[in-house]
Amino acid sequence: MVRETRLHPDDLIAPLFVREGIDEARPIGSLPGQFQHTRESLRREVGELKDLGVPAVMLFGVPQHKDHEGSEAFNPEGIVQLAIQDLRDDHGDDLVIIPDLCVDEYTDHGHCGVLDDSGQPDNDVTLEIYEQVAVAQAVAGADIVAPSGMMDGQVFAIREALDDAGFDQVAILAYAAKYATALYGPFRDAVDVTIVGGGDRKGYQQDVANAREAMEEIREDIGEGADIVMVKPAMPYLDVISRARAEIDIPLAAYHVSGEYAMVHAAALQGWLELEPVAFEHIGAVKRAGADIILTYFSRLIAEGLQ
């Protein structure tokens, strides 16, 4: 009766991976319980999540062919576009479909944009690619697009491109405060991404030491037209989530990322921690800090635990 926060399956978005050119789902070693799905196994997984009450999925594609600009990300026949159509066929309007909007899974160099001569993403050339990806995802049936590349001006560019193409009803979930964390490691295994030359994303993602800058990034994205803003990762940035909740009035999401999930599983596998109560404590803390919406690989476990 006196409990202040409660988790509900409606709070959750399940991140899922779909891979082109495989015959059966492949387990992801560093993310126990998660798979690179085929189109078919993705449909089954989403059907089960939906039955458990999870209302939304975030989709990441793993293409067979990667190139310099990540062209499979905006190919109308690209793996994510096909998966969006499958899920729309299966669920109609009853599922919120949110493709991640970035090119790192699709580029042969692993960066989130097209590279300039110095080997770093060229911000403005990359925006033109993101505009094409947004429209391709909207045509396929996305409800919300989720730009995660941290290019300056990406929300505004995508909003304009969607509106010009007649998709003014497609919303934008902006990865607004996305940190250059060491916690994305297992994700990069999941999407077969290695950043060329041992590089990193510190040129475009945020310094892990900065909280004021996160608020500035969030305010900028809201000004550019974001409908939902996100803080990522979650657990090490509860201060940022809490501050954002106090300072802004649009829906706030938090992404409990691959490394956060993997750590809990690794400790549980050793018998050092109990998986389920720790998962509930972590995801519950993210909600308590102020997130309305939580992206987590624990979505199934949490939704099952809440039945």
Q: What residues act catalytically?
A: 178, 232
The number of beta carbons lying within 10 Å of the beta carbon of residue 69 is 19
Amino acid letter for position 77: E
Binding mask 246-285 for ligand PBG (x = CB under 6 A): -----------xx---------------------------
For residues 176 and 132, the answer to whether their CB atoms sit within 8 Å is no
Residue of 35, 130, 167, 184 that binds ligand PBG (CB under 6 A): 184
Q: Which is nearer to ligand PBG, 146 or 170 (by Cβ)?
A: 146
Cβ proximity to ligand PBG, 125 vs 195, nearer residue: 195
DSSP strands (E only) in the chain? 12-19, 26-27, 35-37, 56-62, 96-101, 144-147, 171-178, 228-232, 252-256, 293-296
Output the CA angle 154-157-160, nearest 5 degrees.
145
CA atoms within 13 A on the CB side of 161: 21
In this complex, which beta carbon is closest to ligand PBG, that of residue 104 or of residue 217?
104
At closest approach, how far in Å is the CB of 18 from ligand PBG? 14
Cα–Cα distance, 228 to 172 (Å, whole number): 7
- Whole-angstrom CA distances from 54 to 60, 180, 254 are 17, 28, 16
CB of 102 to ligand PBG, least distance (A): 3
Nearer to ligand PBG, 67 or 164 (CB): 67
* Calpha distance 38→19 (Å, rounded): 6
Closest approach, Cβ 15 to ligand PBG, in A, equals 6
d(CA 284, CA 240): 16
> Interaction with ligand PBG in 132-151: which residues (CB under 6 A)?
148
Q: How far is the CB of 107 from ligand PBG (least distance, A)?
A: 10
- Of 17, 35, 74, 187, the residue at the interface with ligand PBG (CB under 6 A) is 187
- Nearest residue (CB) to ligand PBG, 33 versus 92: 33
Q: State which residue has the least CB distance to ligand PBG.
A: 187
* Of residues 79-118, those binding ligand PBG (CB under 6 A): 100, 102, 104, 112
C-alpha dihedral (66, 203, 137, 222), degrees to nearest 10: 180
- CA 65-67-69 angle, to 5 degrees, is 135
| DSSP code string of 242-279 | HHHHHH--S-EEEEE-HHHHHHHHHHHHTTSS-HHHHH
Instruction: Output 198 or 271, the one with its CB closest to ligand PBG.
Output: 198
Structure tokens at 216: 């500035």
Interface with ligand PBG (CB under 6 A): 100, 102, 104, 112, 148, 184, 187, 201, 257-258
